[in-house]
Structure 1
Amino acid sequence: MSDSLRPLARPRLYEQVVARLREYVRTEGLRRGDRIPPERELAERLGVSRTSVRQAIVALEVQGLVEVRHGGGTYLLRDRLDAEPLEAMIDRRRRLPDVLDARDALETKLAALAAARRTDEDLARIDAALADMRDAVRRGELAVAEDERFHAAVTAAAHSPLLAEFMAEISLSIAESRTESLRQPGRPAQSLDQHGRIAEAVRAGDPEAAADAMHAHVESVGRVKLLQWQAGADD
């Protein structure tokens, strides 16, 4: 029998809470750094349980849209609450571990090769990307594009066409993991520091140190709230 008339999915209650919060932020003209109402007040005004409100806040926190300060309230990290669909979060959480495994295997080797094969031009490109990322972090940006340029410069410095081709094949998944990591509070500055260590090892011509620095960096990329998040059911 055709599956085209399967039952319609009912939006989870906390997804509706997220939608209401997005509308509230827009209509009230709230901006980055502003505090949203307390959990208890939101539950009362929306006519839902505190559990549903808490689930909504956690989903927004996982996406890097709000910061929960224990005992101090919840604050906006962006000017808008452009939350992604729940199913997209679930799908990305499922894929992320495999992407991180691939990045570790490929980029750790690429860093070692870059240390062994880099030219003066390669080092100049790595340094330029690092300088651009430093400027972006100082401006308070996530520095996603600058992060991408740094890794591209390291890949180019390895002078391994086949490994570069493998990286290109998973570039969209890598970009997804990059954004997921950099939107963690404090992560852009941390990533900048780790990139500096990778660059130092490549410049020194030390493949082992470069591989170790890249491995540590990719491990850090994997420390994201999404992997601890669970999509809860409505109570």
Structure 2
Amino acid sequence: MAGARGLDRVERPRLYEQVVERLLDHVIEQRLRPGDRLPPERDLAERLGVSRATVAQALVALEVLGVIDVQHGNGAVLRYRPSSAAVLRGLREHTDRLPDIVDARSAVETKIAELAALRRTPEDLAAVEDALEVMDRDIARGGRGLHGDELFHAAVTAAAHSAVLARLMTFISDLVRETRIESLSQEGRPERSLESHRTIARAIRAQDPAAAARAMLEHIRLVSDVAVLRPE
């Protein structure tokens, strides 16, 4: 029936999306420029009358879209000043594609882990261990382990010795980064992700392809549990 879509249910913006809008208003009102810092989470929560968890989710959303850079010990730093409409559109697109990214990772990275267990060399194992150490040190200092996480998955991909699968991972690397930021920004997630990585590494070291694939699948299920996909 023509025009029926005009009576579709109206979706109410989620609270963190409203906070994103307020933060962008603050950037404009205060004439912040790239390199300027946003107020600390605690201050933002008090001024906006919301929980710190909601503020944190809004900041993660802005980080995923590249609007801010969250630095341990330095807070949220503005990278560029986008329009509110562009950011909100980007948030909806990001949320819509997250399940597809998880599907792609489940299909590709489980096979990569399986092959890594079969084909890894001593040099590959050393790279995997180095990545775990980088992530461990960052988390111990209060960081999220983002760089170490990236190094770990790159090392496992290299250990699979499959040029085609490596190219596929390169192709989706920006999308995977979105899930990485979302996941490692969840409370307690960096430590759980690191332990999950260690389980994958043990299976690869033991040359157990089935265990490696299973551990990678469990890891992806873990990291795909993010706040933006949960009902409010």
- TM-score, normalization: structure 1? 0.70
Give the 3 Å change call, closer, same or farther, for CA 13–89 of structure 1 in structure 2.
closer
Residue among 172, 175, 178 paired with 1:176: 178
Within 2, Cα distance between the matches of 1:203 and 1:188? 22
Unaligned runs of 5+ in 1: 1-10, 43-52, 66-76, 231-235
Deviations 1:172-228 (A, max 9, x none): 111111111111112111111110110001001111111111001000111000112
Unaligned runs of 5+ in 2: 1-12, 62-72
Alpha carbons 2:157, 2:166 under 8 Å: kept: yes
Aligned counterpart, 1:72:
none
Aligned counterpart, 1:109:
111
Shift of 1:78: 7.2
| Matched ranges for 1:14-163 at <5 A | 15-19=20-24, 30-31=39-40, 34=42, 36=44, 38=46, 42=48, 58=54, 60-61=56-57, 63-64=59-60, 79-80=75-76, 85-163=87-165
Alpha carbons 1:64, 1:185 under 8 Å: kept: no
Shift of 1:93: 0.5
Aligned counterpart, 1:187:
189
| Matched ranges for 1:178-217 at <5 A | 178-217=180-219
Shift of 1:60: 4.5
Within 2, Cα distance between the matches of 1:167 and 1:16? 33
Amino acid across the alignment from 1:214? M
Within 2, Cα distance between the matches of 1:57 and 1:218? 23
Alpha carbons 1:100, 1:218 under 8 Å: kept: yes
2:94 match: secondary structure: helix
Shift of 1:62: 5.1
Give the 3 Å change call, closer, same or farther, for CA 60–87 of structure 1 in structure 2.
farther
Within 2, Cα distance between the matches of 1:54 and 1:177? 24
Give the 3 Å change call, closer, same or farther, for CA 185–21 of structure 1 in structure 2.
farther
Amino acid across the alignment from 1:195? H
Shift of 1:36: 4.7
Give the 3 Å change call, closer, same or farther, for CA 154–108 of structure 1 in structure 2.
same
Count of residues paired in the alignment: 195
Shift of 1:61: 2.6
- TM-score, normalization: structure 2? 0.71
CA RMSD of aligned residues (A): 3.4
Amino acid across the alignment from 2:181? T
1:80 match: secondary structure: strand
Amino acid across the alignment from 2:156? V
Q: More relative contact order in 1 or in 2 (CA 8 Å, sep 6+)? A: 1
